[in-house]
Amino acid sequence: MKQWSIFGKKILFVICFCIAVAFSSTETQASTAVETNGALKVEGTKLVSQKTGQEVQLRGVSTHGINWDVGYPYISKAAFQTLRDDYSVNAIRLAMYTTEYYGYCDKGSAGESQATVQATLKQRIDTGVQAATDLGMYVIIDWHILNDKTPKKYQSEAKKFFKEMSKKYAGYDNVIYEICNEPNGGTSWSDIKSYANTIIPIIRANDSDAVIIVGTPTWSQDVDVASQSPLKYDNIMYTLHFYSATHQDSYRQKLKTALNNGLPVMVTEFGVSEASGAGSMNTSEAKKWLDLLDENKISYFAWSLSNKAETASLLKAGTSKTSGWSKSDLSATGKWVLGQYNTRSGKKTTSYKPAKVSSITLKNVKSKKVKVTVKKVSNATGYQIKYSTSKKFKKAKTVKTTKTSYTIKKLKKGKTYYVKVRAYRKMNGKTYYGSYSSVKKVKIKK
C-alpha cells in the first residue's frame, strides 16, 4: 500500500503539472486585448466584450494624419508593439484626413492623381489594420474631416470609402469605424444625423455589428446636444474631444449630461495641450479628465503618435526612431500621457526584456576570424556575443555589437570555439538582457 501511495502521488503530481501548464498556455494565448475580449458591442453607455460580457476600456493612441510624413512613418507592427508592450496601449486610431495636402477627397498640391492618393492612403490603412490585428489590438479607421467642416461635403466619397472598408474588414473583430472626426463651422447635429443615417446602413450591409463612432458638433464637443436626439441604431458611440489646456470643467459637464441621458461616449482624441495642439500643457486638468473617464470606463485615445514640433506630439521633435522608444525619446506630453497609461492599467513595471535570439550562424573566415550572424530580434538595441574554447564557457570572453553580424578576431588556429548570443535593450538608463541562443561551435581551420 505504501508503494502504491507513492506512485499515486507521482501520478497526481504529473496530472496537476499538466493542468497547470495547460492553464498557463491558455493565459499566454489570451493575453492580448482582442484575444481576451473578441468583438465589442455597446450596452447602455458602456463598451462591452461580446465574448465575456465584461466592460472594456480602450487606452489608445491616434496617429497624426497618415497623409503626411509626421504620421505615416509610425504605421508599423514594430511601432504599435512598442506602444502595446512598453506603454500599455491596447488600441490605435488611424487618422486619415479628407482634405489638405494628400487628402483623400482633395489632394491639394500633391503631384499624384487623386486616384493614386486614395490608393496610397488605403494601403496605409491596411498596413495599420494588419499590424494591429497581428498584435491583438483594436483599431479605428478615422474619416478625419476638419477643414471641410461638414461631413456632408464629401458624403458621396464617404459612402464609397466605408462600403469598401466595411466589406474588406467585415470579418475582423478589432476594427471600429469613425465616420466623421470633428464637424465644425456651424454644422448642426441635424446635419450630422443626416450624414450618419446615410453612412451607417452602408457599413451595416457588410458588417452587421461593428462599433461605429459618430462625431458631434463644434469639433466633437457637443455630446450633450447629441444626447437629446441619438441615432436609432445598435452599437453606436459618440465622440468627445478635449485638449486640457483649453477644455475644462464646462466641457466635463457636457460629458456628464450626455452620460446622464444614456449616451455612450468615446474620446477618440485628447491632448494635454491647447486645442491647437500647441501652446502650454495642463496636466492637472488632464488628470481630472482621465479620472472622470476611468470612473465611467470611457475609452480614450491620445493625440498624436508623431515627432511633429508641437506640444501634443508624443515623441520629441527630431526623434528619428520609428519604434522602440525609450523615455528619453518621448516629449514632455509623451512622458506624462504614456506614464499615466502604465499607471492606470495597473502595470507597475514595464518589461523591456527582448526576446530570445532564435538562431545564429558561424563562419570561419580568413586570418583566424569567425563571423557571427544573428537572426534579428525586434526592438533590440544590440547583441552580446559570448565565446570560449570551453563547452562550459570557462574563461569566456564577451563582445557587444549593435549590428546583426560581428567578426570575432585573434582566435587560435586549430581550436574549437563555442558561441552563444543574447539580445539586449537599453531603456531609461538601464540595460535589459534576453535569453541566450542555443550554443553553436566552429573549428578554426584557417
Q: What is the pLDDT of residues 307-362, one digit of tens each?
A: 999 999 999 998 999 999 999 999 999 999 999 999 999 875 445 788 899 999 99
**Class of residue 101 by CB neighbours under 10 A (exposed 0-12, middle 13-18, buried 19+):** middle
pLDDT in tens, the chain (446 residues): 334 444 454 444 444 444 443 433 333 333 799 999 999 999 999 999 999 999 999 999 999 999 999 999 999 999 999 999 999 999 999 999 999 999 999 999 999 999 999 999 999 999 999 999 999 999 999 999 999 999 999 999 999 999 999 999 999 999 999 999 999 999 999 999 999 999 999 999 999 999 999 999 999 999 999 999 999 999 999 999 999 999 999 999 999 999 999 999 999 999 999 999 999 999 999 999 999 999 999 999 999 999 999 999 999 998 999 999 999 999 999 999 999 999 999 875 445 788 899 999 999 998 899 999 999 998 799 999 999 999 999 999 999 999 999 999 999 999 999 999 999 988 656 788 999 999 999 999 98
DSSP-assigned letter for residue 429: T
The verdict on whether 35 is a catalytic residue reads no
Angle subtended by helix axes 155-168 and 114-134, to nearest 10: 40
Burial 284-302, CB ≥16 within 10 A → b, else e = ebbeebbeebeeeebbbbb
Is the peptide bond preceding residue 304 cis, with omega within 30 degrees of 0? yes
Catalytic residue among 100, 178, 182, 310: 182
| pLDDT computed for residue 19 by the predictor | 43
101 touches 120 (CB < 8 A): no
DSSP-assigned letter for residue 412: P
Domains of the chain and any CATH numbers: 32-344 (3.20.20.80), 360-443 (2.60.40.10)
Stated pTM of the model: 0.75
DSSP-assigned letter for residue 152: G
> In whole angstroms, what is the distance from residue 67 CA to residue 115 CA?
14
> In whole angstroms, what is the distance from residue 265 CA to residue 18 CA?
44
> In whole angstroms, what is the distance from residue 124 CA to residue 135 CA?
17
The verdict on whether 269 is a catalytic residue reads yes
Strands annotated E in 65-156 = 91-97, 138-144
| pLDDT computed for residue 428 by the predictor | 56
- Bridge partners (DSSP) of residue 423 are 383
> In whole angstroms, what is the distance from residue 204 CA to residue 210 CA?
8
Phi/psi of residue 362, each to 5°? -125, 140
Strands 40-43 and 46-49: antiparallel
Catalytic residue among 178, 269, 274, 310: 269
| pLDDT computed for residue 318 by the predictor | 87
End-to-end CA distance of the chain: give it in Å, rounded.
66
| pLDDT computed for residue 17 by the predictor | 44
| pLDDT computed for residue 129 by the predictor | 98
Burial 356-378, CB ≥16 within 10 A → b, else e = ebeebebebeeebebebebeebe
267 touches 239 (CB < 8 A): yes
